Amino acid sequence: MYKYYHSSEHEPQKVKPDKNNIYNILTKLYLKKKNDPRWIVIKPEERRLNLLLWMSSDQINVYKKFRDVVIVNTTSKTIQFDMILILVIVVNSNFQNLIVASAIIEDETETIFAWVLEELKGSCNPTSIVLYSDTNLALISSV
């Protein structure tokens, strides 16, 4: 039997977007970097937090090993911070998709995508052979 609840007390609570929560994420990422210096956490030196890129040490190792084909996927301001999430994904030899980097950006411009790709390249040195994405013109132009 299914139960039907009409009362709002049984409905899941939605989390209100709060720009301060992103600073909590940044703090947690810096703590991870403190515990393992191989972590990569990059943000521009600005007062506003509008770009953030991170990779764990395990993700760095996977990226260096399976960097031939890289998939870049973006959300459309669906995360709670009203920002865009970028996932950088590789495919391993068992055809598994592995996330090797994540970034949170404010908007999808050629300049921002170029920043993400340059930071990724500069942090890990390996350059990918194939970059696969949807029809995001700003990302395509930044390559």
- pLDDT tens-digit readout, 10-66: 444 444 545 567 778 888 888 998 998 888 888 777 667 778 889 999 999 998 898
Residue 71 is assigned to a structural domain of this protein: yes
Task: Tell me if 1 is assigned to some domain.
Answer: no
For residue 51, being part of any structural domain is answered with yes
The model's pTM: 0.70
Number of Cβ atoms within 10 Å of the Cβ of 96? 9
Average pLDDT score, the chain: 76
Number of domains comprising the chain: 1
Give a yes or no: residue 4 inside a domain. no
- Residue 7 inside a domain? The answer is no
pLDDT tier at 83, thresholds 50, 70, 90: confident
- Whether residue 112 is contained in a domain is answered as yes
* Residue 10 falls inside a structural domain: no
What range does the domain containing 38 cover? Answer: 16-142
pLDDT of residue 6: 42
Tokens in use for 85? 């999430």
> Would you say residue 28 lies in a domain?
yes
